[in-house]
Homo-oligomer: A and B are copies of this chain.
Amino acid sequence: MNKERPLILVTNDDGITAKGIRSLIEVMKEFGEVFVVAPDKPQSGMGHAVTINGVLRLNEVHSIEGVRAWSCSGTPVDCVKLAIYSIMHRKPDLLVSGINHGSNSSINVIYSGTMSAAVEGAVENIPSIGFSLLDHDAEADFEAAKSVVRTLTANILKHGLNGGTCLNVNIPKIPKEEIKGIKICRQAKAFWEDAFEKRIDPSGKPYYWLTGEFNNSDKGEDTDEWALHNGYVSVVPVHYDLTAHHVMASLNTWDFESI
């Protein structure tokens, strides 16, 4: 770190008016100069979507918690790209996304707009963290989460983070004094059992709502799910090299002569 105050980009996927981003901004102001660029509407479940076939709008809004803030018509990943290339004109020293209202543990990482913003930070070689609290309530209590954010932010600014990785931090919905600690974990092999609820609209046509149940059959005690169920904050280092190196050898036995 240089001696100047770090430049920090804050974004999220619940939208610029969410309580969670306000809590995150409050903590970030203690550490550096803060810019906020966040979606103008909820963008949960947007994954790593990026707007390539349409245009983006960007509006500077009234300052939030005393810092400059822009709302963007696009996805969380669009927010990160616009922030870096159209507003800040240099890469920030830290990117934080959240605090998400709801879990982004295990398989949720691939659907999560919060985490995709952090992954985009990693792609840009910026130390990046996505924070999520296991509480969907719009008025959730972020006090314990703020303490976790403070600790992790101090660490990432001190130690940096290996290029190409970011952190997926999930915080259990328990009072601060009951949090047992912070655990470095792997992503649990836990999944959604999807279902759709079919309804009929007033004109007689069907439409569908995605529903489903979360199932964890991964009994490992080194997973994010285990940590969260046992009173710990989970920290999973995440990278964007999706290569499944462990199956390359078996693929090399396939027969490609016929092409």
Contact = CB atoms under 8 A, between A and B. Distances in A.
Contact of A242 (B45, B75, B86, B109): B109
Contacts of A50: 45, 47, 111, 210
A163 to B, nearest CB: 9
Interface residues of A, number: 86
A155 B259 CA distance: 12
| Chain A at the B interface: SS class | mixed
A165 B247 contact: yes
Nearest to A254: B155
The number of times this chain is found in the oligomer is 2
Contacts of A51: 45, 210
Interface stretch (A18-26, A30-38, A194-202): A194-202
A173 to B, nearest CB: 16
Contacts of A52: 44-45, 210
Given A50-B111, A147-B259, A244-B165, A191 B123 contact: yes
Nearest to A255: B155
B251 A237 contact: yes
Given A53-B45, A85-B195, A187-B243, A208 B58 contact: yes
A75 B195 CA distance: 16
Given A47-B48, A116-B47, A196 B244 contact: no
Nearest to A245: B186
Q: Looking at A51, A209, A240, which has the most chain B CB atoms within 10 Å of its CB? A: A240
Interface string A130-161: 00000000000000000110110011000101
